[in-house]
Structure 1
Amino acid sequence: MPALTSRTTFPTEESNLEINVYDSVSDIPVEVWEALRWNAVRTNVMLPLAEKVLSKEQGGLFDQDQLWITCISLGSEGRRTVDFVLSCSKNEMGEYPIFIVATVPFPFLTNQFISPRLHNLILAMQRYIPLERVYSIFAPELIAELFADMWTESTGISHYEKPYYAAMLSYCTIRSFRNRQATDAVGGRTYTLRPAVASDVDAVARLCLGFASESEPFVLDWAGALKEANMLISNEEVWVHETRTGSSGPEIACMVAYTRNTSTTATITKVMTSVGHRGFGCAQRLVRQVCKHLLHSGKQTVALYVAHDNGAATKVYHNVGFLGLDKSNNEPLEGVERWSEIGFDRTRVQLGHW
């Protein structure tokens, strides 16, 4: 990426907007951090990584391959409102999509409000981010759709009509959580719910491999699955559902990973049950236990995304206490939003992994 001077104010075509570009999170101003933290559920794809990068920078480790762009509205009497934050970031597994989070109330997100802000964000992106790096956009649904159309028009790189992922962002709190006393045996099966340990790495890797195989185009080979499993276990970010049937030895039936975490919010990012153990309630049992652990460990909320076409998972999460997933109630709920990941022509971009 072109070099910055840590912060660059990018000229806009609207006098009421300010675009700032940062290649160091240490230079991101307090007003932006406050907006991100105030909206910790909505910003779960960005805030946890930004805080990790900040910790590294404070320890003297700087990574110039990550970029953050902010869009701020300028009001009367010097009033400033953080509208959008965009990130071009990565982790140990690869480069993330372009993320855009909104930090203004959901009713603000109309075409008229979004379009000029995206236009200026895109102008800044084209100056500082290589075109091939933008392999997909993940954002609230309307933002993602408008961005994809505007990016294609501006760059000539077409986008796919069918999203890679279309999901509902939901969350669970200590008040919405539905506890249920777990039993030790179900249908002749006994089980243990626990954090994964080093000896579970092959089993967790197989589940990572299975999860990725259902997440085209972000597939993994065995080496990648092992790398991810080792990372999850060493970071203490994955629990497993261990099952015994009769006199046979224990098997890992299911895993739940939560990899985007702040002091107030945890985000469940992978739930996977092996084919032979489906239909026995493993996922619901383990998700409930993980949420109970997280909420009783000081987290105020547990967030996740559930695909619109995944009825079984939606039912599981609703039963645990995740909000806004009741199909019989269509009333909008603050913080529950439709999100979409839209991919760009893979012959012209470099696919990452997340």
Structure 2
Amino acid sequence: MSSVPSPFQVNVYGSSLQVPENVLDAMRNNQPSANCTLPILLKSRSFESSGKTPPNQQVWVVCSSKNSMGDVVVELVIAITEGYIDSYPAFFFSAIPPHLLAREFVQPRMEKMIQALFIVLPVRRVYAVYGPDLLAKAFAWCWTSLTGVGNYSTKPYYAAKLSFCTRQTFKTRLLPLREDLTAEIRPADPNDIMEVAQCCYGFASDSDPYNLTEQGAIREAEFLVHQGQIWIHRVTRKGTGQSAIASIVAFTRISETNGTITKVYTNPNWRRLGCAERLVRQVCEL
């Protein structure tokens, strides 16, 4: 009998400090695509390097192969990590652009990665997956086949499109505000926390089962404000002094050269005034 060696290998790391440097290099070389994994990995390494222990188990599953020169090439990464508010979904990183991924390439690798994940992680910890369509579907199919846990729905719960701009591609656009209003765009400060919390609550209100309680929204707002990760667009009615936060923008996944906007919300009372676009544009010019 003869056997054919696998063209790839899968490794599991229970600490961010154990994750090899070539994995970080692969993510750093494609920071927009690594926006869900690299910032968390860097933050975790800094946290663990100071002698602290993450509050919950974090797992990094890495699939790699060797090129014709014998060098190890990172292909796929699954990250099971923790956030300040709650546990994150399973996040993916692909060193290969998503539009070049093929099912024949992904499926066998995903099967081995999930088998490795199943050994070290409780089934209940995987409550959602987030990433490129092909990877998310492959994960869901393999996870259900292995664990018997079916999908919540036949349709994706949430669909998003990743886009990015640079200082070279960003284009300025003037967005005048209604004449009876004035605008103030700036980072949120501690005096804004309760209004920011109302926006966080509103953002999550139609995201069942990921809704926030009022206290949960306050906790999130306090964290975002103290971390300097949220900007506000405040509007004031001329001649009255009455003001309110119309829109918020949060950017919570930040690496060396990349920042990701993860939350945009406009109070229903102030919609159709261009507040969200005005605020997003200001944040992108940072």
Q: Same fold (TM over 0.5)?
A: yes
Structure 1 partner of 2:51: 60
Contact 1:209 1:225 in 2 (8 A): yes
Structure 1 partner of 2:117: 125
Match of 1:275 among 256, 265, 268: 268
Take 2:69 and 2:256, find their aligned partners in 1: how far apart are those partners?
34
1:62 shift after superposition: 2.3
Structure 1 partner of 2:237: 245
Contact 1:204 1:255 in 2 (8 A): yes
Give me the TM-score of the superposition, normalised by structure 1: 0.76
Whether 2:85 is the aligned partner of 1:93: answer yes
Match of 2:173 among 167, 180, 185: 180
Contact 2:175 2:274 in 1 (8 A): no
Q: Alpha-carbon deviations, 1:160-199, whole Å to 9, x = none?
A: 212111111111111221213465x523111110110001
Which amino acid in structure 2 is aligned with residue 268 of structure 1?
Answer: I
1:24 shift after superposition: 1.3
The change in CA–CA distance for 1:55 and 1:250 in structure 2 (over 3 A counts) is same
Contact 1:32 1:82 in 2 (8 A): yes
Take 2:83 and 2:76, find their aligned partners in 1: how far apart are those partners?
22
Identical aligned residues as a percent: 38
Whether 2:101 is the aligned partner of 1:109: answer yes
Match of 1:200 among 185, 192, 205: 192
Deviates more, 1:199-208 or 1:246-255: 246-255
Task: Classify the secondary structure of the residue corresponding to 1:236.
Answer: coil
Match of 2:67 among 59, 69, 75: 75
Ranked by relative contact order (alpha carbons within 8 Å, sequence separation 6 or more), the top structure is: 1
Work out the number of aligned pairs and report it: 280
Which amino acid in structure 2 is aligned with residue 30 of structure 1?
Answer: E
* Aligned counterparts, 1:279-294, within 5 A: 279-293=272-286
* Aligned counterparts, 1:150-165, within 5 A: 150-159=142-151, 160-165=153-158
Take 1:236 and 1:107, find their aligned partners in 2: how far apart are those partners?
34
Structure 2 partner of 1:46: 37
Q: Alpha-carbon deviations, 1:50-95, whole Å to 9, x = none?
A: 1111111111112261111100013344232100011110111100
1:100 shift after superposition: 1.4
Which runs of at least 4 in structure 1 moved beyond 6 Å after TM superposition?
Answer: none
Contact 1:18 1:74 in 2 (8 A): no
Looking at secondary structure, tell me which structure has more strand per residue. Answer: 1
Whether 2:18 is the aligned partner of 1:23: answer no
Which amino acid in structure 2 is aligned with residue 157 of structure 1?
Answer: V
The change in CA–CA distance for 1:28 and 1:253 in structure 2 (over 3 A counts) is same
- Structure 1: gaps (5+ residues): 1-12, 294-354
1:33 shift after superposition: 0.6
- Structure 2: gaps (5+ residues): none
CA RMSD of aligned residues (A): 1.5
1:238 shift after superposition: 0.4
Task: Classify the secondary structure of the residue corresponding to 2:81.
Answer: strand
* Aligned counterparts, 1:283-322, within 5 A: 283-293=276-286
